[in-house]
A and B are shown apart, each in its own frame.
Chain A
Amino acid sequence: MFLRRRVRILLVVLVLASLVLVTVDFRSGGDGPLDRLRGGVTSLLRPVQDGLTTVVRPIGDSFGGLGELLRIRADNERLRERVEVLEQRHRSAADIQRENAELRELLAMREHTGVEGVAARVVALGPTGFEWVVTIDVGRADGIERDMPVVNGDGLVGRVIQVEEHAARVLLSIDPNFGAPARHASNGEAGTVVGRGGEPMLFQPFDPEVDVEVGDEIVTSAYQSGAFPGGIPIGTVAEVGEVTAGLVLDVQVRPFVDFTRLHHVIVVTSEPVADLPPFEDAPEPEFTPPPGPPTVDGDEAESDAEAGDEGADDAEAAP
């Protein structure tokens, strides 16, 4: 009887402890004590995961998953179709020229972004099937900061969401919590791209009437001085949906990066390049900005100063 009660008490205590943890973590937002504990666990397990991954990766790569075979078959079929399409396309010289121009444009865009980065290895993935997060073997000591973009040779991989001394967690771009400004590579139409887990990514152009075709390339955009440098390849359009009642065009994008075979990545450490010049025909501000703490962003500080000058001019002209 005593033991039964003991079990019951422990059950209640542990269930309550779990609920308290949920509450504490839920309310603390991004940087609570439990997040630091998570960071500690990441740092602690990182070297072991590193070693284990090095050992098991060749095995995993050669055998693959059970679903891998089916996926490869589907891929094979898709690629065959794609080859046919491409062959047809390349019969026309004009088409080749057009594609050449597009590629040149894209190349120039990539060079223009001029990103610098730190190379890293992927050492582990998250423990559940509900999130697409990887641990990499570089951290604060290597100059990594939160929200830095992560890329590899194929294109956009994700964004850093947690940094420890020698480890960091990266939210992959296919995670449904991931979103980034993007644009159509050849016509420049801007939009947003979001991950959808196992499904292809979703590109939603701001203009639903825009001309998007299957096979078009989608790249990141530095629109609104977002966290990502412009011109990083994201993927190709796999399917163009109908415009919905909410005037949103859903474009399915197949990412270039093979997220099941993610070995080496680069964390982009350079500042994103500002994409849009300030509007010159902006209307005169009818208010003087309230005095506040100085902003860190250089562009904003400048525009503040300009606004201040104009305000002063007005004041002189008024009497």
Chain B
Amino acid sequence: MILRVLAVGLLLVTAALLQTALFPFLTLAGFRPDLLLLVTVAIGLRDGPLPGLRVGFAAGLLTDLLVSQSPVGIAALITTLTGFIVGLARPYLAPESVTAPVIIAFVTGLLGTAGYGVLALLLGEERVAPVMLLQASVAVGLYNTVLAPVVLAAVRRLSDRFPLTGPGLLD
């Protein structure tokens, strides 16, 4: 269990590093993917709502701490809920389905980014213009969709190597 926590932690930090140091050079129409959200979605899909919740909170907090201006906690809230909801949806998806995870990656990228932007807007971040918010949401959704197979495979491998033990498994 400790090994798993370390492995997932390392995965999150790696995702954050790629997000801030690699993807700024590989943008899609000026926007980067949300790797941390994608990792959360992958965990939720693979292991269910409880791990989705936990990893989502950690991933969101990491995003929040790397952002400079929006209040800490917005991304944490969004990714926590995303991980949970995706985890809840897991039993209803065919285990070998390829389309379902891809669609989920798009929808979560779209709604997650939109949710983040709207919360930031509500908290007085005037610089998030609605048009840009829409563009960003679609771009992140698409980019996350493209990256979904890679991230999902990586998370599946990691989860096989360090399987989930104890409570949460049966959810």
Contacts and interface: CB of A to CB of B under 8 A. Distances in A.
Interface of A: 3-4, 6-7, 10-11, 14-15, 17-26, 34, 37-38, 41-42, 45, 48-49, 52-53, 56-57, 59-61, 63-68, 123-131, 133, 135, 161-162, 169, 171, 175-177, 197-198, 260
Contacts of B128: 130
B29 A66 contact: yes
A7 B49 contact: yes
B20 A126 contact: yes
Interface stretch (B76-84, B100-108, B148-156): B76-84
A15 B82 CA distance: 11
Contact of B72 (A10, A22, A124): A22
Nearest to B20: A124
A19 B77 contact: yes
Contacts, number: 187
Contact of B27 (A22, A24, A65, A169): A65
Given A24-B72, A161-B69, A197-B129, 15 more contacts: A6-B167, A7-B49, A7-B171, A14-B57, A14-B76, A14-B80, A18-B74, A22-B72, A41-B65, A45-B66, A49-B21, A63-B26, A126-B67, A129-B113, A260-B27
A24 B64 CA distance: 13
A52 B22 contact: yes
Q: List 7 A-B pairs, minimum CB-CB distance, nearest first.
A: A60-B25, A176-B127, A21-B73, A22-B73, A18-B77, A124-B20, A65-B27
Interface of B: 13, 16-22, 24-32, 34, 36, 49-50, 53-54, 56-57, 60-77, 80-81, 84, 113, 116-117, 120, 123, 125-129, 132, 136, 139-140, 167-168, 170-171
Contact of B57 (A4, A17, A19, A197): A17
A43 B171 CA distance: 38
23 contacts: A6-B50, A6-B167, A11-B80, A17-B76, A18-B73, A18-B77, A18-B80, A22-B72, A38-B68, A48-B21, A52-B17, A52-B22, A60-B24, A63-B25, A65-B25, A65-B28, A124-B20, A127-B66, A129-B139, A171-B69, A177-B69, A198-B30, A260-B24
